[in-house]
Structure 1
Amino acid sequence: MSDDPSTEPVTADRPDSPIHVTGTDHITLIGSNEEETIEFYRDVLGMPLVLRQPNLDDPDSTHLFFDTGDGRIITFFVRDDRQSNPQPHRHRAGSVHHLSFSIDPERFGEVKQALNDVGRGYNEFDRGIFHSLYTQDHNGMVIELSTDKYDIPNDRRGEVLATAQRLRVEDGSDFAEEEHLAAALDELGIDSDPVELPDAPTGSGVE
């Protein structure tokens, strides 16, 4: 590690480290109660509830497991006497800023309508290399519903993003944009057609 972290290389190559993880198994959050957790994550976002059991570290609470759509799991520790709190979170070092889940680009308009139908407000942003809706769950957690602008193979995602990063720096751009993503895919020989999505602001103040 150099004295200036901004000079550290951005690369998809595996670092020379003693441990190499193989993927995300699950992420566990402290939830409120079972009813409202299931209502949002299963009934609104469409995640199957695949396992329910006592929290093995605290049998007075319940451990809920949801499949996010690709076999990756998100879980919650919940208690029936714990009320939901929709107030926005106060962030500090170590806290979770938001959770991002993938959605089908062909259903982007349907997702927006569904959020409207259940009374969930959202913001829509064009983030350069992906397009996102931001809403909140029943406990004030920011939930991002994101769709890629191109179909990127999961096993090459890091490689594509690292290449787009190099092209962004060479171009002198403030952030990675669609053109960098398209150029990265072309350079890596990945055939992928762009997805048609509506215009939206970046939301970053860098237009």
Structure 2
Amino acid sequence: MTKLQSQGVHHITIMGADRQTSIDFWEGVLGMPFVFEQPNLDNPDEGHLYFDPGDGRLITIFTNESRAVDPARTPTNAGCVHHIAFAVSQSMYSQLADRLDAKGIEHSGEKDRGFMNSIYFKDPLGLLIELASYRFEPPLGATHTDVLFEAHQIRTKAGDASIRDKHLAEAIEVLSRRRHRTLSDS
């Protein structure tokens, strides 16, 4: 049987509370432009808000004015979403804690993930949000996933527990050698 082939995330839809709470968080806190809205075509009692997370794809929110805001942590049972991560630049990452503090939003503080830096906080409905920044740029013609795949191979061969800077640097070198041919021996 032939596998289905994904070409990336098309959109993610989240169950929201009221319209304004969604706009205040997704655009007001995360800076995602509110690009359009329409009724939820499967449930006429709900609105459907569309936000651009920065890559031209979509985050959509189903809203209903009768749903109350509940900041309790969303379920993390099997089959539930644990968190959603959004990419930020290193320059933005360096300001995240201060900006969240200025808005009175509790957060995890900075987390070193080896190949990226992260900070976590909850949206008004208890969904855990991660803002993450890769600590490397892939070489021309490669993706972050390409680098991480190579770094994983290097890490496991070395017997190391997690991907670190040394694995990333070697992975980038491997990918660069594949792309950039040379006639010299050195």
- Both structures adopt the same fold (TM-score exceeding 0.5): yes
Separation of aligned partners in 2, 1:144 and 1:86: 16
Report the equivalent of 2:146.
159
How far off its partner does 1:83 sit? 1.0
How far off its partner does 1:155 sit? 5.5
TM-score (norm 1): 0.80
Mapped pair 1:32 → 2:17:
yes
Deviation string, structure 1 residues 180-201 (Cα, Å, up to 9, x no partner): 11211111018xxxxxxxxxxx
Separation of aligned partners in 2, 1:154 and 1:187: 13
How far off its partner does 1:109 sit? 2.8
Mapped pair 1:171 → 2:158:
yes
Mapped pair 1:131 → 2:147:
no
Separation of aligned partners in 2, 1:81 and 1:154: 49
Deviation string, structure 1 residues 151-173 (Cα, Å, up to 9, x no partner): 23696222211111101101111
Separation of aligned partners in 2, 1:37 and 1:86: 13
Higher relative contact order (CA 8 A, sep 6+): 1
With over 3 angstroms needed to count, the CA separation of the structure-2 counterparts of 1:154 and 1:26, relative to structure 1, is: farther
SS in 2 for 1:44: coil
TM-score (norm 2): 0.88
* 1:98-113 equivalence runs, <5 A: 98-113=83-98
Identical columns (%): 35
Separation of aligned partners in 1, 2:141 and 2:116: 15
Deviation string, structure 1 residues 114-163 (Cα, Å, up to 9, x no partner): 10111111112000000001111001111000001012369622221111
* 1:1-207 equivalence runs, <5 A: 17-123=2-108, 124-152=110-138, 156-189=143-176
With over 3 angstroms needed to count, the CA separation of the structure-2 counterparts of 1:57 and 1:40, relative to structure 1, is: same
Is 84-93 or 46-55 further displaced after alignment?
84-93
Separation of aligned partners in 1, 2:48 and 2:159: 47
2:115 touches 2:163 (CA, 8 Å); kept in 1? yes
CA RMSD between the two structures: 1.7
User: Gaps (5+ residues) in structure 2?
Assistant: 178-186
Deviation string, structure 1 residues 77-114 (Cα, Å, up to 9, x no partner): 11011111111123111100000001111122322211
Q: Which amino acid aligns with 1:61?
A: E
User: Gaps (5+ residues) in structure 1?
Assistant: 1-15, 191-207
Deviation string, structure 1 residues 15-62 (Cα, Å, up to 9, x no partner): x84321111110111111111111111001100001110000001100
2:117 touches 2:132 (CA, 8 Å); kept in 1? yes
The runs of at least 4 consecutive aligned structure 1 residues that moved more than 4 Å come to: none
In the comparison of the two structures, how many residue pairs are matched? 175
